[in-house]
Amino acid sequence: MHLGLTALVVDDYDEAIEFFTGPLGFELIEDSPALTSRDGRPKRWVVVRPPGGQTGLLLAKADDPAEQAVIGQQAAGRVAFFLQADDFDAAYHRMASSGVQFAGMPRTEPYGKVVVFLDIAGNKWDLLGPA
């Protein structure tokens, strides 16, 4: 078994795709028409993931006020996602030069290098790399 997808609630499919495939360098795995399970309205099935990764993100456009309310707060303000980079410095500089917002400066911890960044919706992520 492995974790295939995790949903990330977003406000706009195309803006989210641009963020993840641009500054983060993810691959767009799928972008297909779909229907909501609630009332049959058109949606899209959008999956992105890091190159070579097994687990992807299902970019799920918010449908109603309850879903809108969690955009950017999927983990109640805590770091929700952990992006591991083999070359931390290169990833950090690529992301910074692409306008990714960081919540501090990179630091070294016993487990490696780390810096918190915000995704397009405002969710917190850790960029992690070897020490």
- Is the Cβ–Cβ distance between 96 and 21 less than 8 Å? no
Q: Are strands 107-109 and 5-10 parallel, antiparallel or unpaired?
A: unpaired
Same domain? For 51 and 81 the reply is no
User: What value does the mean pLDDT of the chain take?
Assistant: 94
CA distance 128 to 82: 7
Domain that holds residue 122: 76-131
Residue 131 lies in a domain: yes
Same domain? For 48 and 86 the reply is no
Reported as a pLDDT band with limits 50, 70 and 90, residue 2 is: confident
- Is the Cβ–Cβ distance between 62 and 9 less than 8 Å? yes
pTM above 0.85, yes or no: yes
